[in-house]
Amino acid sequence: MLMYLSFVPPGSGEAEYTIPFDLPYVPRPGDSIAVDRDAAGIGYETFVVRSASWLLLTPNDRRIAKGEVGKAWKLFVECEFVRSPGMNSDAHATMCDQLETRGFQIQPMGYGAVQAFRPPEV
């Protein structure tokens, strides 16, 4: 399912950036997300899902009377920046530093989520 993940500072509705993703389901508030840009192996950008917002289209009353139904048009998922020591890319750590300079408090990702994202030791 195509959705747009908007990455926002904690407590803000202003997206720093938005990226389209094709995901198998809609992430729920509290879910942890780690993004590996280009599978480069240089660290992750880490986030926690805050909310999901749907934009729906509906036909007019005449078309509804003929049996037409509305449909989902766009889905936006708001994700807040979090830190994950030992996992974050340099670019993500720099972005978190910049957000903190602007007065935002960047929280650490929960321990369980950090462990789930670590690759198995070989």
Q: What is the pLDDT of residues 66-99, one digit of tens each?
A: 888 888 889 999 999 999 877 889 999 999 999 9
Q: What is the pLDDT of residues 22-44, one digit of tens each?
A: 999 999 999 999 898 767 667 88
CA distances from 114 to 39, 54, 63 (A): 18, 29, 49
Domain assignment present for 26: yes
Domain assignment present for 60: yes
Domain assignment present for 9: yes
What's the pTM? 0.79
State which residues form the domain around 89.
Answer: 2-110
Quote the DSSP letter at residue 38: G
Q: Which residues contact 81 (CB under 8 A, 6 or more apart)?
A: 7, 8, 9, 10, 16, 46, 47, 92, 95, 96, 99, 104, 106
Domain assignment present for 120: no
Domain assignment present for 116: no
107: number of Cβ within 10 Å: 13
